[in-house]
Structure 1
Amino acid sequence: MSISAAQHIFDQQVQSPYRQPHAWRRRKSLTLSKRSAALALAAALTLTQAMAAPAAAEAWQPAQLQHAAQRDMLSRHTGQRYRIFISVPAAPAPAAGYPVIYALDGNAAFASLALMNRTAGQRSKVTGVQPALVVGIGYASGDDYDARARTLDYTPPVGAASAAGEGGAGRFLDFIESELKPLIEQEYRIDRRRQALFGHSYGGLFVLHTLFTRPAAFQTYVAASPSIWWHERFVLTQLPAFLDVRREWPQIMLTVGALEQMPAATDSAERRDMVAQRRMVAAARELAATLGGQPGGAGKVVFHAFADEDHGSTVFPALSRGLEFFLRAK
């Protein structure tokens, strides 16, 4: 109701005819009418002011992810400050301890993986699948993808041929093995026989480097869109040493987006050449076939090419499929 409308109500009530026979009754009635009209006007003005004022709202707060925590830690091996994220299942740890999955690029990957794992936990009575302890390994910069830091940490050392800002995978793996894992084990009961490593792109390259050089570090490896092309496919030179040793093979999953080897119509000639040279889909498929064809690899190696996914979008189905692969592994 507007102020003018309220005033109209007041005028009507004050000026309305009174037909009472006695003057005192007319005066009393007029006094009551004026009082009622004044109350009506006050109510109308209050309503008008309330309607005109913006709705009261509490201040925006940082969004929080339930059942999750984070802390920063400075590595003595790399000199890098990492942001470590953790999500603990709602159910108590089983007698053997929680299975645990470590995810690289934690600033970007952790939240999605934690929610997927929580869903798995909610369905555990139906599926019989034990949810995992989820650990995201990110960077204190807070960037979704810290390009400089991840390039150094995720690329294998190639000796004198290492370019500036590359080749720190050995030190980064030392950080995981001798600093991060002990920290997690101090605070949570985990199953050392059920640990997984997930990485995408350069992270997938690091997963392969770890698999080929220290295969006992994890029991499940998920390499999503691994950058096998890096440094003239150097990581493949580490494969023979892995194949030469007889051991209990870990579970291995390689994934890729089906569109990663299909340049867009608007791509430049330079980008088309790059896509052709990197052979993202073919290289991942060939490596999976090589590993799966080994005596120890039979039944241990899985390959997925996700339809309609490119290099960036394929990380999400890779997280989902990789987590399921890990949780169901025996």
Structure 2
Amino acid sequence: MPGTMHSNDSMVRRTALLALVAALSACGGGSSSSDPPVEPSGQVINSTLRSESNGFTYAIQVFLPQSYATGTTMLPVIYATEGDAPYGAGGPGGTAVSRFESFKQVMQRRGTQAILVGIGGTSQRGTDFLLPGARRYLNFISNELAPAIERQYRADPKRRALSGLSHGGYFVVAALVLEGTAGALSFSHYLSTESSFGAHADPAAYRAFEKQLDGKALPATLFLAGARSSNGSVVVTPLYTQMAAQTNPGLTLLKAEYETTHVGADVPAFEDALTRFFP
């Protein structure tokens, strides 16, 4: 069925399992060796979703904080592109972990009360993150994935964040441009880290593309983060300077720079975003 997420488990079964474990613990009992493992600091649900916009099937990972099973409040959702991209050394024996796993570990450590959605398909980054394919990919996230998440989980449709690194960081800005010029934003927070200039000829052409937003009302937050010795100085800061001089009612524009490598800026920027927007 189009737009249906195919999950490894249902929410009803998960909730019942958590309740059973709690009851057995109170009675001095425990779960049997046949019970599926439950993460002590939250839960990850793996699924797939085929896009009607571009025909690609994406692996989707959803992290729910520990409080989700017993809570009732609607939670903000962070949509992380390239969730399956391997980087960092946080795995066993120093092995590389994915972008989704790295972000999840930060959220677990901080106790962040938000839902993290990792979108796979890193192999598609050259198509999905750059125009014209970015239009179809944005339509998939905004009009297919986000509604599916909000049907299945207690996800707040008014608090959606979109996160991307490098070409993904460009995609985040492009999403704001595409939606801002159309007059309807799908996200409350746009988190762009170490943005490239995409398929444009150079950073100046990228800024000319963004200039379409001048004068547009943008009721959202754009957080531009960069590494000072990488794209931060040549792409991110000039873009921020241009946007800061524009008139965009409702826009909260923020910038941060880090003394890191290109990829190394991603986790510090994510943690900074959590501190600012989802404490």
TM-score under structure 2 length normalisation: 0.71
Per the alignment, residue 155 of structure 1 pairs with 130
RMSD: 2.4
Are the counterparts in 2 of residues 228 and 280 from structure 1 also a CA contact under 8 Å? no
Q: Distance in 1 between matches of 2:262 and 2:160?
A: 26
Fraction of identical pairs, as percent: 26
Q: Does 1:246 align with 2:246?
A: no
User: CA-to-partner distance for each residue in 1:25-80, whole Å, 9 max, x for gaps?
Assistant: xxxxxxxxxxxxxxxxxxxxxxxxxxxxxxxxxxxxxxx89511211222121111
Deviations 1:79-125 (A, max 9, x none): 1121101011222487661111000110131111112122232xxxx
Cα distance in 1 for partners of 2:60, 2:198 equals 29
Does the CA contact (< 8 Å) of 1:88 and 1:132 recur in 2? yes
**Equivalent position of 1:32 in the other structure:** none
Match of 1:118 among 99, 108, 116: 108
Does residue 177 (structure 1) correspond to residue 147 (structure 2)? The answer is no
Q: Secondary structure at the match of 1:230?
A: coil
Q: Which is higher, the Rg of structure 1 or of structure 2?
A: 1
What residue number does 1:104 align with? 81
Q: Which secondary structure state, in structure 2, belongs to the residue aligned with residue 323 of structure 1?
A: helix
Counterpart CA distance in 2 for 1:244 and 1:77 is 30
Counterpart for residue 315 of structure 1: 266
Counterpart for residue 300 of structure 1? 252
The alpha-carbon distance between structure 1 residues 82 and 244, as it changes in their structure 2 partners (threshold 3 A), is same
Matched, 1:78 2:54: yes
Secondary structure of 1:222 counterpart: strand
2:67 is paired with a residue whose SS is coil
Change (3 A) 1:241 1:231: closer
Verify: 1:131 aligned to 2:107, yes or no: no
Structure-to-structure mapping, 1:1-330, within 5 angstroms:
67-92=43-68, 97-107=74-84, 108-121=98-111, 131-139=113-121, 145-146=122-123, 149-157=124-132, 168-215=133-180, 216-228=185-197, 230-233=199-202, 234-248=205-219, 250-260=220-230, 280-296=232-248, 300-307=252-259, 309-328=260-279
Matched-pair contact (CA < 8 Å) for 1:225–1:311: yes
Instruction: State the AA in 2 paired with 1:246.
Output: A
Shift of 1:317: 1.3
Letter in 2 for 1:207: V
CA distance in 1, matches of 2:229, 2:211: 30
By how many angstroms is 1:325 displaced? 2.8
Q: Which amino acid aligns with 1:225?
A: E
Q: Distance in 2 between matches of 1:281 and 1:198?
A: 20
CA distance in 1, matches of 2:194, 2:42: 29
Give the Cα separation in 2 of the matches to 1:291 and 1:96. 35
Number of equivalences? 220
Q: Is the 8 A contact 2:76 2:155 kept in 1?
A: yes
Alignment CA distance shift 1:67-1:229 (3 Å) = closer
Pair 94,241 (structure 1): closer, same or farther in 2 beyond 3 Å: farther
Q: For the residues of structure 2 that align with 1:238 and 1:197, how far apart are their CA atoms? A: 20
For 2:65, what is the secondary structure of its paired residue?
A: coil
Structure 1 distance, partners of 2:254, 2:42, is 32
**Distance change >3 Å, CA 247–CA 203, structure 1 → 2:** closer
Aligned with 1:117: secondary structure? Answer: helix
By how many angstroms is 1:255 displaced? 1.1
Cα distance, 1:316 vs. partner? 1.9
Unaligned 5+ segments in structure 1 are 1-63, 122-129, 140-144, 158-167, 261-278
